[in-house]
Amino acid sequence: MQELLYGVAYYDEYMPYERLDEDIRMMKAAGINLVRIAESTWSTHEPQNGVFDFTSVDRVLDAMHKAGIHVIIGTPTYAVPTWMVKEHPEVLAETSRGPGRYGARQIMDITSPAYLFYSERIIRRLISRVSKHPAVIGYQVDNETKHYGTCGHNVQLKFVKYIKDKFGTLECLNDEFGLSYWSNRINSWEDFPSVAGTINGSLGAEFARFQRQLVTDFLAWQVSIVNEYKQANQFVTHNFDFSWKGHSFGVQPDVDHFAAAAPLDIAGVDIYHPSRDELTGKEISFGGDLTRSLKQSNYFVLETQAQAFPEWTPYPGQLRLQAFSHLASGANMVEYWHWHSIHNSIETYWKGLLSHDLDTNPTYEEAISIGQDFARLSPELIGLQITNEAAILVSNEALTSLEWFKLPGGQTDYNDIVRLLYDRLYEMNIGCDLVHPGSADDLDRYKLIVVPALYAASDELLERLNRYVDNGGHVVYTFKSGFANEHIQVRNTVQPGIIGHACGIKYSQFVTPSAVKLKDDPFGAGEEYNTVSTWMELITPTTANVLAWYEHPHWGAYAAITENRYGKGVATYIGCLTTPEVTGKVLERACREAGLWGQDQQIRFPLIVKSGKNLAGQTIRYYFNYSAGKHSFSYPHGNGLELVSSQPITSGETTELEAWGFIIVLEK
Amino acid sequence: MQELLYGVAYYDEYMPYERLDEDIRMMKAAGINLVRIAESTWSTHEPQNGVFDFTSVDRVLDAMHKAGIHVIIGTPTYAVPTWMVKEHPEVLAETSRGPGRYGARQIMDITSPAYLFYSERIIRRLISRVSKHPAVIGYQVDNETKHYGTCGHNVQLKFVKYIKDKFGTLECLNDEFGLSYWSNRINSWEDFPSVAGTINGSLGAEFARFQRQLVTDFLAWQVSIVNEYKQANQFVTHNFDFSWKGHSFGVQPDVDHFAAAAPLDIAGVDIYHPSRDELTGKEISFGGDLTRSLKQSNYFVLETQAQAFPEWTPYPGQLRLQAFSHLASGANMVEYWHWHSIHNSIETYWKGLLSHDLDTNPTYEEAISIGQDFARLSPELIGLQITNEAAILVSNEALTSLEWFKLPGGQTDYNDIVRLLYDRLYEMNIGCDLVHPGSADDLDRYKLIVVPALYAASDELLERLNRYVDNGGHVVYTFKSGFANEHIQVRNTVQPGIIGHACGIKYSQFVTPSAVKLKDDPFGAGEEYNTVSTWMELITPTTANVLAWYEHPHWGAYAAITENRYGKGVATYIGCLTTPEVTGKVLERACREAGLWGQDQQIRFPLIVKSGKNLAGQTIRYYFNYSAGKHSFSYPHGNGLELVSSQPITSGETTELEAWGFIIVLEK
Amino acid sequence: MQELLYGVAYYDEYMPYERLDEDIRMMKAAGINLVRIAESTWSTHEPQNGVFDFTSVDRVLDAMHKAGIHVIIGTPTYAVPTWMVKEHPEVLAETSRGPGRYGARQIMDITSPAYLFYSERIIRRLISRVSKHPAVIGYQVDNETKHYGTCGHNVQLKFVKYIKDKFGTLECLNDEFGLSYWSNRINSWEDFPSVAGTINGSLGAEFARFQRQLVTDFLAWQVSIVNEYKQANQFVTHNFDFSWKGHSFGVQPDVDHFAAAAPLDIAGVDIYHPSRDELTGKEISFGGDLTRSLKQSNYFVLETQAQAFPEWTPYPGQLRLQAFSHLASGANMVEYWHWHSIHNSIETYWKGLLSHDLDTNPTYEEAISIGQDFARLSPELIGLQITNEAAILVSNEALTSLEWFKLPGGQTDYNDIVRLLYDRLYEMNIGCDLVHPGSADDLDRYKLIVVPALYAASDELLERLNRYVDNGGHVVYTFKSGFANEHIQVRNTVQPGIIGHACGIKYSQFVTPSAVKLKDDPFGAGEEYNTVSTWMELITPTTANVLAWYEHPHWGAYAAITENRYGKGVATYIGCLTTPEVTGKVLERACREAGLWGQDQQIRFPLIVKSGKNLAGQTIRYYFNYSAGKHSFSYPHGNGLELVSSQPITSGETTELEAWGFIIVLEK
């Protein structure tokens, strides 16, 4: 692909009246050069079992091709038709809350043979029909696939076989999972109880891992079918999504994104984020960094918001800011979900690029300017290669284990800790990748690895991290890291177990703080921010240097935050839940020591800097103003050309960014 | 009926010991001239299948007759006996939460043939037995009937046939309901999925309408049976109830009161309201206005509170104030639920007119004075005819649609908006009727029609409202009105669609406000009250005069509240959720323009004025003081007789009302 | 037993590696002389149906015996193995929420014949095997037994037979339970509906009583089996637990502790309480007083916390304070749950005496000093006989009835009222026993009986309390007492019914207060504390002296708190929910009048005094400092020996207690 893709999800099937020509006219006016179609409308394309009707696909393909708009075909398998459920009720996933019932999308047992049979048939019918159509540039398999909690009889049986394969003997399983506790031992395979009611976190987490594998397998299976038809210049992608806290937030608990992305040609993702006064760019950056890391390459934003919720309708300038922020993280596509606002069913509250009146509106008008700039600047901006020296290690296993063994109060979860750290790096303009337990071979690429709450991890991974430090790397751990093994068996050595060597610390007690501070405000965070909440480990340094002690009548002799030189590297350990301010200071210290503190670190949020090399090897630097006020900064790099205005910019020049404004510098 | 009815629900069956004579003695002492019996005690009257025992009915009838107390017989069908459920478990309603279980009342499938068979049998047995008894003045069919969420297999089948009748083809249904979305299309009638799990708001709302029809049909069926026995001087009524927010609040979502009231001779209702410092009369007035509007005639308050909850036990004077307030809205009956406080089961927290000790108490003693005044003033007060020039248009369809498509935050529902408007009119002493989508022919009777959040409405209705304005009427709409058609399909024209013509406005975007005010406080509401919350439409006037602009850095160019001259009339549009203060000012302006501002508008809440004509055509005026302090006002109308004190009152006379006090003027 | 027992629950089966010798070494070092084993590990001891493996029991018994550590054997029946549930799914309790599912402990139908058959078999196998082992000093039957909500078909049938036995005829049942209400009458035994859905509080409460009886029967049955094997010097106990509000709190709703304790040799209990800055000793004292009252003798603390939750990890000194507080209430054993911290399953957040590293830690180190002192002081401290002159009357029936008929707001339950009163006595160092409706014969032992919210009680009990007052006793009642009979039928006499005679009051109305105070702050509680909340009865004194009137514009003529001389005694009645401060003042007044005000009442919380006689008849006095600051007091009793320091102490000597410190005086 040699052009930036600016797209919309398009549902001809949902249109209240014949609109295709008018829609295309309006798309062209806005520079839309891509639509994604067909991923939600199985019941239209197969109105009855074995009766196919691809009229809407055909006509949209032809019309788009005529207009020079590319098309991504989605396999329509994430929402099943009524006839299938009536004929084969077993396609609905049985979950721990009971049997499924028809209505919503994403309610299937993705292991059901009936579902798989019909899915394969429609995929083959659809893809074989369209694959040679000149409008089709690629495919999206399914959509936001997850396991939907499926845990019925067949899934349980599959899981028992999986356990048998993995652990060999029940003796081994009983020991590793501690099933003797509360008389949960399984002494015969026939006795294996349904995992739906288990209270054993090891068993529960293993089932969650197994369920994630179901997703990986399902997507790989779809990709393999589509690949049979895929043409040389076409791609296969998938639309991953994140954990949700009113918006895209953190690591997806139900999918192993790294594993599931393996068979894809390009990683795709949807990113939905707060807007208006809450627009910070953090989700765009986090989602982008994670998705770019999946295949260490450019990615597609297959869905993001145009007008969206009533509370997100953007202020003037924000839609532009968002679009270019995606590019700055390495996206080659920005696609809105969706073109028009839907007139029925459940999501009528959600506004597309067009309102329900299907006419122009201020947001659509802003899109026109984006489309023009995308087209004009595509040669310089496409294919941005980003090289980071910092990484955050994220782990599905750690996430699941902290769901089973929640932090006191139940308000803080794994992703909160991930984002506590990520957001600080973002604010300091420290670019980072996301790595995962399977990335062990890649760690030495980084000067700094940040490890949030790695509650469950194998010995191998932790020893690898020790070696990484020994070899000169810098790791920043938070509390809870290293606590349990990969089966969530708590380590029976002094904590934090294996990483205690690199960190130069030990602890055997941990408590919840109440009005605890860090002694003497060691980071100058100020009274209000120098506090500790939710969790504190009573750390005794062995070889570590203590960066912060607790201020407490009984626990003042314990360390809160430590730093230890180990081999050629340094390991920092944050033994308590610190405020964003303190966390930022600890990370800043680590970044400085790791040699990550450069000119872009003179600039701070709300000014955000992103940079990389374009396909021609030129350096591209984006400067974004994530605020409602004007902000000035001194441009610190070499002379260049500001691409939006086509004006030269010189090193050291004071540059003012408008509210929600940005510049893009091509350095000469 | 030529006397005001002052009654109690009476349960001889619940009495802990033989009390009939003593109860009647105490009733007579309090002026009670009516009891309602039998509506809850099927298991007493039919202890076994086909074994009947009407002993308690017979003896109460005879004793009441002897004492000169009238009796209303309730059909006992809203609570089924144990034997029926054991023999025919299918009489319990299956709901979206699963199968029913025995215990409470109102748990039946009101379409179950077994339930209907037994219901008809006991109704015929009971009514045929009592219809000629001289004590019996009328009947209440069932009690607070609703559909109880019934949605089992048989109900689903009935619904599919209803849909087939209504829409003819699935093509039409799929299009109108947008079932293509998320692959919900139904392409064969056999595939029609259970609606229990649907996520399609059009389908869900249609099912709700169908369920309301079940209630209408059920009540009509009961009325038709009772009518076979009804004597010339007897009536049939039903006890409707309202949506509940800790007390009677707004439009009942599960019943179409207007349709269901059609076969009744007289409309009946229960009204339960806050008390003590929270007593405002608003629920008495709203409930009364709505019930009076059902048949545009006087009505019965079949249940209201005496002592009630511990938090409602009235202050001295309040029971009197409440009783006469019911009359002032057009009630011909005030009946307490219930005579005595019950000693067992679930509602022992609820106090009747007597406490559990079945002896006198301060509330009962206050009732004595009410009974005396009712008897004395009955000739002047009975049959009050009320003529209002304002109306509020309420709609079950709009209510349901705003349940499917909730306002942001989920805290404000349809009835909140209805009451936001109604309560302001009440405070300004603007009397009003309630009209509904079926009242289109009656609109021209009114000078002002207030239309809260009419989210879902047919083209016909909206065009009728436009014509109403064109012909000289005044309409006040709130936000969300006209947004979707009667199938909750969002209109694909510029909003607010059809009514945009009369309102002279358009909008294509709507957002949730955050710290938004009305520019320059156009209504002088004051800093604190000049705010906008939850919802704001970004309105551009076409021909309208803007009453208020938003104060906002980006959205200041949009109108918040507009007024438009259209033909001979005026249409006001409130495009955001305003405070009670601003809402009141907008309504005051509309009332003034509509010619509704008279002498009684000089008086404001907590002083409340109600007036009408008695059967002799004389004007009766009630002045109520809904406060704990004394209040004076200058009596603005013609000389008259104050009925409570039997003292003359002269025009312009300064009159003082005691705390929770009132006067009644018969104008000469 | 002639020594204080200092123990731990020990799970050899859960150990991550061979630890037995090392564990015993560490136990001995800490003075541990008791372990409880086997109560949770059925699946280890019977890995398959009928296949037994007591290896871990045998080896632990032998090793403990060798080390001189006593062993309590628990029957392993509160957690069932996987094979049993697979073979006989019916052993899972069906509850009102539906069928059970495997996973947790305590999920069985304790009436299931399959469960009982297997339980009996393993009990006989286990107990017959170990009963003559010299290490075994006693047995614990089951653990924290409750009925687990079992209400399936078989339980329902059993309940119907129980009802038939108890009430004889349905006529009687219908009348007493008021089943006519809402058509709930049962006119044929065949029609008896499942009680799972009942809305009749009398029926629901009777079922709850029946369920408690199931627990009593189940425990008696286990005891009878174990007794067949029990040796002369062995005991049988059970580990009761309390209602839970984040910690042990009040009367257990699901068990009649008094009845269930009857067949036991010694009562046992677990007590878990807040710690750190929230450590007050109240739960230790309440739990101890209740458990000591069960058999009016010394008791075992079979489980209490060592490190526990992260929010409970004790401050230095607190573990000691807690251990001796248990002794001071009459415990002869303090046993931690549990020895080590568990590495898997669900409770890994809970820390034992050892952390997960199975090594020493500060809490373990403090235990060493406790073990030493227990051993040294055992002769003086064991078998403390405590004689109290005050008692609190608690009632399962009252508790259940206040669950059915909750106080307004739903925030205050029966146990809150129990603790409101108990805690005030504790703070005043008034020792008390707990008595129950079955203790009627014992009442005259006490000078003061405090009766919290005795909502449901038989005529006999209330008349007994009247006689108690008449004979010279002092009773303090709170609101709601005497309101309903033992079937929760509200009394149809003027309230508070029977006790109104002794209290010299009457009321017929009750309300929820809003901003109500006691007139003129009669107890000098201060503005902030002189308030009334949640509930107020409008009391008219007949013969009573009014201690407090309500301050209210309408209800100021009613009494809030009264005191009445009746015969030779006095009855105090608190007609509203008072603050702790006012409640304390009322109780202080009652204590003074009842002659309970002595030298130890000069000392107040946080200084706590407990005293009794040791086996040699010597007076032992404990003085505890439940605060983080030092506190001095003047020792008011006779000269003695302070046992911890072995220093003499003289009467009147000013003594300083360290933070969380204590002394123990043996009076000479």
Give the distance from residue A313's alpha carbon to the nearest chain B alpha carbon, in angstroms.
6
- Beta-carbon separation of C181 and B344 below 8 A: yes
Q: Which helix (H) or strand (E) holds B533?
A: strand B531-537
Query: What are the φ and ψ backbone dihedral angles of A9, each rounded to 5 degrees?
Result: -75, 135
Within 8 A of B343 by CB-CB distance, chain C residues are 178, 489-492
C159 domain-assigned: no
Task: Provide the domain count of chain B.
Answer: 3
Residue B17: band (very low, low, confident or very high) from pLDDT cuts 50, 70, 90: very high
- pLDDT of residue B110 exceeding 80, the answer is yes
A277 shares contact with chain B (CB less than 8 Å): yes
Domain boundary among C578, C595, C612: C595
A549 domain-assigned: yes
In angstroms, the CA A252 to CA C505 distance is 65
CA distances from B114 to B89, B92, B118, B161, B560 (A): 10, 10, 6, 21, 55
Q: Quick one: tokens of B484?
A: 């979707």
- pLDDT of residue B452 exceeding 90, the answer is yes
Report the pLDDT averaged over residues A636-651. 97
Instruction: Please report the pLDDT score of residue A1 as a whole number.
Output: 54
- Beta-carbon separation of C362 and A181 below 8 A: no
Same domain, B446 and B554: yes
Query: What are the φ and ψ backbone dihedral angles of C448, each rounded to 5 degrees?
Result: -140, 130
- pLDDT of residue B668 exceeding 90, the answer is no
CA distances from C98 to A654, B90, B101, C83, C160 (A): 70, 19, 12, 22, 20
In angstroms, the CA A467 to CA A461 distance is 10
Could you tell me the CATH number of the domain that includes residue C233?
3.20.20.80
In angstroms, the CA C541 to CA B575 distance is 59
Chains that touch B (3 or more CB pairs under 8 A): A, C
Report residues of chain C scoring pLDDT below 70.
1
Instruction: Please report the pLDDT score of residue B1 as a whole number.
Output: 54
Suggest the residue from C185, C402, C489, C558 to mutate for an interface test with chain B (most B CBs closer than 10 A).
C185
In angstroms, the CA B108 to CA B102 distance is 9
pLDDT digits (tens, 9 = 90+) for A275-329: 999 999 999 999 999 999 999 999 999 999 999 999 999 999 999 999 999 999 9
3-state helix, strand, coil in chain A (%, to 5): 35, 25, 40
Q: Quick one: tokens of A626?
A: 């994530």
Residue B13: band (very low, low, confident or very high) from pLDDT cuts 50, 70, 90: very high
Closest CA to C30 of C360, C284, C324, C289: C360
Residue B441: band (very low, low, confident or very high) from pLDDT cuts 50, 70, 90: confident
Q: Please, which residues bridge with residue C647 across strands?
A: C642
Nearest to B358 among C405, C492, C514 (CB): C492
B401 domain-assigned: yes
Domain residues for the domain of A231 are 5-154+196-381
CA distances from A296 to A125, A409, A443 (A): 33, 37, 13
- Beta-carbon separation of B200 and A346 below 8 A: yes
Give the distance from residue B667's alpha carbon to the nearest chain C alpha carbon, in angstroms.
34
- Beta-carbon separation of A348 and B196 below 8 A: no
Same domain, C297 and C331: yes
Domain boundary among B552, B575, B595: B595
Instruction: Please report the pLDDT score of residue C1 as a whole number.
Output: 54
Could you tell me the CATH number of the domain that includes residue A650?
2.60.40.1180
C247 domain-assigned: yes
Task: Name residue, tokens 């349905």.
Answer: C170
Q: Quick one: tokens of B170?
A: 């699935």
Same domain, C575 and C660: no
Same domain, B398 and B368: no
- Beta-carbon separation of C179 and B16 below 8 A: no
Nearest to A310 among B186, B408, B491 (CB): B408
Helix axes A282-295, A318-328, angle to 10 degrees: 30
B167 domain-assigned: no
- Beta-carbon separation of A187 and C47 below 8 A: yes
A176 domain-assigned: no
CA contacts within 13 A on the Cβ side of A178: 31
State the pairing for strand pair C540-541/C569-574. Answer: unpaired
Within 8 A of A196 by CB-CB distance, chain C residues are 101, 103
In angstroms, the CA B447 to CA B433 distance is 12
Listed by number, the residues of chain B in 37-56 with a beta carbon closer than 8 Å to a beta carbon of chain C are 40-44, 47-48
3-class secondary-structure state, position B35: strand
In angstroms, the CA C235 to CA C230 distance is 7
Which residue of chain C comes nearest to A203, CA vs CA? C345
Same domain, B317 and B423: no
Give the count of Cβ contacts less than 8 A between chain B and C. Answer: 155
Same domain, B120 and B233: yes
Instruction: Please report the pLDDT score of residue B160 as a whole number.
Output: 98
Helix axes A113-130, A55-67, angle to 10 degrees: 40
Same domain, B231 and B250: yes
Within 8 A of C509 by CB-CB distance, chain B residues are 307, 313, 351, 355, 361-363
Say if residues C529 and C565 touch (Cβ distance below 8 Å).
no
Domain boundary among C381, C410, C444: C381
Query: What are the φ and ψ backbone dihedral angles of C283, each rounded to 5 degrees?
Result: -70, -35
Same domain, C619 and C577: no
3-class secondary-structure state, position A143: coil
Nearest to B495 among A313, A357, A363 (CB): A357
Report the pLDDT averaged over residues B610-631. 97
Instruction: Please report the pLDDT score of residue B440 as a whole number.
Output: 81
Write down the H helix ranges in C527-613.
580-593
State the pairing for strand pair B239-240/B607-613. Answer: unpaired
B107 domain-assigned: yes
In angstroms, the CA C101 to CA C20 distance is 34
B399 domain-assigned: yes
Q: Please, which residues bridge with residue B93 across strands?
A: none
Q: Quick one: tokens of C456?
A: 């449901």
In angstroms, the CA A37 to CA C147 distance is 57
3-state secondary structure C119-151: HHHHHHHHHHHHCCCCCEEEEECCCCCCCCCCC
Report the pLDDT averaged over residues B524-546. 97
In angstroms, the CA B24 to CA B358 distance is 12
Task: Name residue, tokens 């002032």.
Answer: B328
Same domain, C78 and C111: yes
Within 8 A of C511 by CB-CB distance, chain B residues are 310-311, 313
DSSP A596-629: ---GGGGS-TTEEEEEEE-TTS-EEEEEEE-SSS
Within 8 A of B628 by CB-CB distance, chain C residues are 553
Q: Quick one: tokens of B104?
A: 């409470």
Could you tell me the CATH number of the domain that includes residue B540?
3.40.50.880
CA contacts within 13 A on the Cβ side of A267: 26
Same domain, A330 and A454: no
- pLDDT of residue A668 exceeding 90, the answer is no
Same domain, B354 and B411: no
Task: Name residue, tokens 């509200």.
Answer: C490
Same domain, A346 and A372: yes
In angstroms, the CA A608 to CA A612 distance is 14
In angstroms, the CA C623 to CA C638 distance is 14
Closest CA to C332 of C289, C374, C279: C374
pTM across the whole model:
0.97
Listed by number, the residues of chain B in 92-131 with a beta carbon closer than 8 Å to a beta carbon of chain C are 101-105
Give the distance from residue B583's alpha carbon to the nearest chain C alpha carbon, in angstroms.
30
Within 8 A of A199 by CB-CB distance, chain C residues are 103-104, 345-346
pLDDT digits (tens, 9 = 90+) for A117-132: 999 999 999 999 999 9
Which residue of chain C comes nearest to B78, CA vs CA? C182
Instruction: Please report the pLDDT score of residue B442 as a whole number.
Output: 87
Give the distance from residue B590's alpha carbon to the nearest chain A alpha carbon, in angstroms.
29
Suggest the residue from C37, C312, C344, C351 to mutate for an interface test with chain A (most A CBs closer than 10 A).
C344
pLDDT digits (tens, 9 = 90+) for A242-273: 999 999 999 999 999 999 999 999 999 999 99
Check the CA dihedral C525-C526-C527-C529 and report its sign.
Answer: negative
